Amino acid sequence: MASQTPTDGTATVATTQKYVPRFKRDPTAVASAITKLYAQQEIMKKFGGQSNHTFCRSPDPNPPPPLQDSEVTDHAPEETPAADPESPVNAGDQQVVLHPLIDEFCRVMIHKHAHLSPPKELWTRNNIPQLDANIGRAVPVFSEVTTNGFEFLGWYKITRWELCPGGGAAVQNFIRRRKFSQRDKTADYWRKALGQDWARVQLERVSEMTVNPMQIEG
């Protein structure tokens, strides 16, 4: 509750601001999405596949048989996973070795402050070769509301995308404007983020699909 004191000496007037749920403010939102937040690990456990990219590829439903003990060798990653969800080096990439993936996306993860106009426009520098195979496919979208707390926004489909070459004006403008880039960054971060190709992806909500996949048993 906030109070306002008039300058003419009359009585103080108390005002309140009533919270309006997002599904009442945004006609494209799903009401059930507001009632539950999911940790990233919880979402990954449900869907499998990659864990930390924006467009996450699905696990292979028919993976090859596991290696025999005599075929397994120790493997240490050369780099520490980066904090940027769109960094090509992160936990999602390391899973490719242990869990084969297919081209289909199983979900979209919108990380906080990583985009300019989510969920209708998303940027990615990962899984660009798989974008064409997913145009028109309905995919569940989750958006980070709090630290590692994601809400289900609904089902969306990719309608089109365009490649923005690294070092170009479009990439520089995007990196400069997004809030994620306004934190302290290393020279290596700037070199990779600005120098790599990005895809600007347009999405459209699939209005006829409203079920929250996190609430489906099994």
- Per-residue pLDDT band for 63 (boundaries 50, 70, 90) equals confident
Has residue 103 been placed in a domain? yes
Mean pLDDT of all residues in 27-52: 77
Q: Which residue has the higher pLDDT, 143 or 75?
A: 143
Has residue 13 been placed in a domain? no
Per DSSP (E only), the strands in 40-100 are: 55-59
Average pLDDT, the chain: 80
Has residue 182 been placed in a domain? yes
Has residue 199 been placed in a domain? yes
Range of the domain at 190: 24-60+82-205
* Structural domains of the chain, count: 1
Convert the pLDDT of each residue in 156-200 to its tens digit: 999 999 999 999 999 999 999 999 888 888 999 899 999 999 999
Has residue 18 been placed in a domain? no
- Per-residue pLDDT band for 11 (boundaries 50, 70, 90) equals very low
The residues pairing with 55 across neighbouring beta strands, listed in sequence order, are 108
φ and ψ of 40, to 5 deg: -60, -40
Q: Which residue has the higher pLDDT, 218 or 194?
A: 194
pLDDT of 13 > 50? The answer is no
Mean pLDDT of all residues in 22-35: 53
Has residue 181 been placed in a domain? yes
CATH number of residue 28's parent domain: 2.30.280
Has residue 6 been placed in a domain? no
Has residue 12 been placed in a domain? no
pLDDT of 5 > 50? The answer is no
Nearest to 86 by CA among 50, 47, 58, 119: 50
- Per-residue pLDDT band for 131 (boundaries 50, 70, 90) equals very high
Angle between helices 169-177 and 187-195 (to 10 degrees): 130
pLDDT of 152 > 80? The answer is yes
Task: Please say whether the beta carbons of 143 and 28 come within 8 A.
Answer: no
Residue type, 108: V
- Per-residue pLDDT band for 217 (boundaries 50, 70, 90) equals confident
Q: Which residue has the higher pLDDT, 197 or 32?
A: 197
